[in-house]
Amino acid sequence: MAENKGSNALAAGVAGAVIGAAAAAAAIALSDEKNRKKAEKVLEDLQKEGSKVLKEISKRAMEIKDAVSKPSSEEEPKQLKAKK
């Protein structure tokens, strides 16, 4: 059990160091106005693409939900008979 906590702490420490290094590199890169504008453009494009993907996923999920919730033609008479 103690080994697991040690592994988790080590992994968290490594992840923190990587994130910190990436943040420092990003801060240096974004200190230049031209690089900052490029980064903003890339982020806007990613956001637009993400919105398109999200809309498509939502549309497909609704189609699947509708297809699953519709009773098949064989089930309809059974349901009608049960109501009588």
pLDDT at 75: 53
pLDDT at 4: 56
pLDDT at 13: 80
52 touches 58 (CB < 8 A): no
Q: What is the distance, to the nearest Å, from the Cα of residue 54 to the centroid of all Cα atoms in its chain?
A: 9
Nearest Cα neighbor of 41 from 13, 72, 49 is: 49
pLDDT at 12: 80
Q: How far is residue 24 from each of residues 2, 20, 29, 35, 45, measured CA to CA in Å?
A: 33, 6, 9, 15, 23
Q: The pTM is what?
A: 0.39
Query: Is residue 84 pLDDT above 60, yes or no?
Result: no
Question: What is the rounded average pLDDT of the residues 15-19?
Answer: 85
Question: What is the rounded average pLDDT of the residues 29-44?
Answer: 79
Q: What is the distance, to the nearest Å, from the Cα of residue 75 to the centroid of all Cα atoms in its chain?
A: 37
